[in-house]
Amino acid sequence: MKQELAVLVAFLSVVIPARLFAKGDISKITIEGADLKTPIEIIDFRDFKGVIYSPWSGPGVSVNGEAQTEGFIIDDWSQPVTERPRGLQRYKVSFYAKFPDEKLVYVVLYEDDPATGRGYIYLPGTGDEWYGLNMGTIARGVEGHWFRARSGWVRVARPLIAGAKVTASKEQPGLELRLQPEDVQAGLPEAFTFVLVNGSNHDVRVPMPSIECEDPPFDGNIHLKVEFRALRPDAPGFGSGCTNDRMDDPPAIMNRVQNWKNLHPGESLSLRAVRKRLLYRYEEPGAYEFCAHYFPPSVTPGDREALNRAGIDFPQNELTSAHVTFVKEP
């Protein structure tokens, strides 16, 4: 009988170790993401005041025979999120506890939306990588759904992620401007496509820029520059330019950024303009050297600080594309 009891205890310690140590303290939380140079490691929880970060809370836990409906880093367990913004950066959040050896006990996915101040938590469901681990720790009955994250968790996680993203962005190339001539007729292109490519290792929010003199100018602008070398010495030169008299104040920066396109690493934003939309209309025979120039969105120092605090990277520098040359023969 004693031998059978010993075998049963050994079996239970293997099958449901987390249940046996359900009151263990969380010793470490890590946050991993494609836009982070290295994982964020949290071992000091003083900033988590008021935040229940132990996975042994909420649905799946009973206290004095009463099932718990609140707890952990999820705001409202009764309201799974069916729609959330697309293109948000995703992070893996891992929870470790000591039994007494430190072990991984729970994993969730986290997405942050700095534009709205909200965060979202996903509990891995059947077929997901971390489903088995989580179910061995605590079964909630709501796995496989997204939920709103508690504001306390967002308050702690967002600046940690923003700081790690800033460090990574300083060591990686940013946006690249490319110029693609199209529809060449009589030696000259009749259209151009301007392409902004995210060459970094993290997401970049890019507003749709205007072209030449179009409005609105505060979301950035792209100009086509033309250098002309005539084939005959008496050919007249040409130039172009524009002015913008609009003095409208742009919307608040966190409202503006909701309409900016979120470019993942390697993704691009393209704008095509035919010749009549641009400022070059010259037909004189000669060599035409084209390049594109990008002016970033207009933001105040306060706007820039707000975006940096929210962990939003955005275009901040002027860009110039490579030059391309076409020759129009007489």
Q: Are residues 197 and 165 in the same domain?
A: no
Structure-token match 């709205």, residue found: 116
- Work out how many domains the chain is built from and give that number: 2
pLDDT at 154: 92
Q: Are residues 118 and 241 in the same domain?
A: no
Alpha-carbon distance 161 to 165, whole Å? Answer: 6
pLDDT at 15: 39
Alpha-carbon distance 16 to 24, whole Å? Answer: 14
Question: Domain boundary residue among 169, 186, 215?
Answer: 169
Are the C-beta atoms of 52 and 74 separated by less than 8 Å? no
CATH number at residue 183: 2.60.40.2970
Q: Which amino acid is at 4?
A: E
Q: Are residues 37 and 75 in the same domain?
A: yes
Alpha-carbon distances, residue 240 vs 213, 226, 265 (angstroms): 11, 9, 36
Alpha-carbon distance 18 to 275, whole Å? Answer: 67
Q: Are residues 254 and 280 in the same domain?
A: yes
Question: Parallel, antiparallel, or unpaired for β 210-211 and 221-230?
Answer: parallel
Question: Domain boundary residue among 149, 169, 189?
Answer: 169
Alpha-carbon distance 86 to 102, whole Å? Answer: 36
> Which residues have a Cβ under 8 Å from the Cβ of 249 and sit 6 or more positions away?
none
Q: Are residues 48 and 165 in the same domain?
A: yes
pLDDT at 237: 56
For the chain, strand residue ranges (E) read: 26-33, 40-42, 62-63, 66-67, 90-98, 102-113, 118-122, 146-148, 175-185, 188-198, 204-206, 210-211, 221-230, 261-263, 268-274, 286-295, 319-320, 324-328
Q: Are residues 21 and 161 in the same domain?
A: yes
Q: Are residues 199 and 319 in the same domain?
A: yes
Q: Are residues 10 and 147 in the same domain?
A: yes
Q: Are residues 277 and 324 in the same domain?
A: yes
Question: Domain boundary residue among 150, 169, 188?
Answer: 169
Q: Are residues 267 and 142 in the same domain?
A: no
Q: Are residues 162 and 274 in the same domain?
A: no
Structure-token match 């002015």, residue found: 243
Alpha-carbon distance 233 to 238, whole Å? Answer: 14
pLDDT at 1: 42
Containing domain of residue 35, as a range? 2-169
pLDDT in tens, the chain (330 residues): 444 434 333 333 333 333 434 456 899 999 998 778 789 999 998 888 888 899 999 998 888 888 888 889 999 999 999 988 877 889 999 999 998 889 999 999 999 887 788 999 999 999 999 999 999 999 999 999 999 999 999 999 988 888 787 555 554 558 899 999 999 888 889 999 999 999 887 889 999 999 887 766 688 999 998 888 887 666 655 555 555 544 467 788 888 988 999 999 889 999 999 888 887 767 788 888 999 999 999 888 888 888 877 778 899 889 999 999 988 887
Other Cβ atoms within 10 Å of 198 Cβ, number: 23
Q: Are residues 134 and 192 in the same domain?
A: no
